[in-house]
Amino acid sequence: MNCKVCGAPLQQNARFCPNCGTPTDRPTPENGAEARPDVPPSSAPPDNTVHVQPQQSSQPPMYDPQQAPPWAPTQPAGPPQGAPPWVPTQTVTHESQAGPPMSPFQPPAPLPYYQGTTSNRGANMPPTTYDRQARGPRRERNRAGCVLGCLTVLVILLLVAGAGWLFLLRPYLHNIAATQIDKALSSGVQQIPTTLPTVPAGVGAVPIPIQDNTINNLFVLNLAPNNPIKNPETQITPDGIHMNFQLYGFSNGISLKPAVQGGRLVATNVAISGPFSLIMSPDELTPLLNRHLSDAQNRIKHQIQNVQLKDHEMDLTLGPAQTS
């Protein structure tokens, strides 16, 4: 059979011309239906699984995320060519029947690995009460260590300050104070006359009175303006000689009691009060005073037999003249 339009040969039962596409006039079969190819019998194994049909309800449908949604597109059915492949269906288990349906908007359940990790996370962490009990001794140890460290640092600072005062600062200040006192006493000794009035023959030893104002003037006139020793004031009492002065603005005092030893006037019972005692000790001041008292006695060239203390006055009894 050929096409009526282009004359191309047509195959049997062809519906369109393969050359021009014109539909062909085919004779209708006797039974009035299209001839269909024989479908061979299906060789698929029998399916004994139970298929569950979703229940229709008024609520929105809820599906298992592992199953395909009902609105998934399907492939158009074509002419059967042999037996369709066997597709295993999911069997209904008791867990799936007992579990509630899952909403499509609900996120899927986590994997078993994450479920185990999440469930065991709390078990791996120590309880809160245990943390508090464990941190308590540590804080106490930290406080004890901090206190011990502060005490150690304080002791070290005290040792350093003490060593600096003992070996550096005190010797420096002691030298300054000793130098200033030595200059003041040396200037006062130079004011003592070298000749004394002649004593008539047959007259005993006459005491020489020395007033406390005389000693004050002796120090004031011989102190330099830049001398750190200010406002010296001497007071003579029967108990001894007391001298008060200011050193760098701090009040200080020196007390002593004169005595005669071997015809020489010496200072005994020397005491120092005030901050000046940190710079110079009585044992260091006593030799300095005795040296200048000896220089003063050498200027008058007489021995001293006796010394007597009164209120605001000191009487010296001179002995025979010294031989050079």
Q: What element of type H or E holds 287?
A: helix 282-300
Q: How far apart are CA 14 and CA 25, in angstroms?
A: 9
Q: Which residue has the tokens 């000790």?
A: 281
Determine the pLDDT at residue 316: 92
DSSP string, 240-272: EEEEEEEETTEEEEEEEEEEEETTEEEEEEEEE
Domain layout of the chain by residue ranges: 207-321
pTM above 0.75, yes or no: no
Structure tokens at 143: 């406080």
Gyration radius of the chain over CA positions: 65
pLDDT at 197 over 80: no
User: Dihedral of the CA atoms 178, 182, 183, 188 (nearest 10)?
Assistant: 150
Q: Look up tokens 């006055």; give the residue.
A: 313
What percent of the chain shows pLDDT beyond 70?
61
Q: Under 8 Å CB-to-CB from 324, ≥6 apart: which residues?
A: 301
C-alpha 134/C-alpha 136 separation (Å) is 6
Residue 156 has pLDDT above 90, yes or no: yes
pLDDT at 80 over 60: no
What mean pLDDT is reported for the chain?
A: 74
How far CA 57 is from CA of 60, 61, 62, 70, in Å, comes to 8, 8, 10, 15
With a cut of 80, say whether residue 119 has pLDDT above it. no
Task: For residue 244, give Cα distances in angstroms to 85, 219, 254.
Answer: 128, 12, 6
Q: What string of DSSP letters covers 171-219?
A: HHHHHHHHHHHHHHHHHHHHTS-S--PPPPTT----EEEEEHHHHHHHH
Where is mean pLDDT largest: 30-39, 62-71, 182-191, 315-324? 182-191
Tell me if residue 44 falls in helix, strand or coil: coil
Half-sphere exposure of residue 233, counting CA atoms within 13 Å on the CB side? Answer: 7
pLDDT for res 233: 93
Q: Tell me what the mean pLDDT of segment 264-281 comes to.
A: 94
Distances (CA, A) of 284 to 135, 181, 261, 270: 60, 12, 20, 10
Q: How far apart, in whole angstroms, are the C-alpha atoms of residue 76 and residue 97?
A: 32
Top-confidence residue, 138 or 295:
295
Give the span between the Cα atoms of 38 and 81, in whole angstroms: 10
Question: Is it the case that residue 21 has pLDDT exceeding 90?
Answer: no
Burial class (CB in 10 A: 0-12, 13-18, 19+), 31: exposed
- Residue 98: predicted pLDDT: 46
Per DSSP, 107 falls in state: P
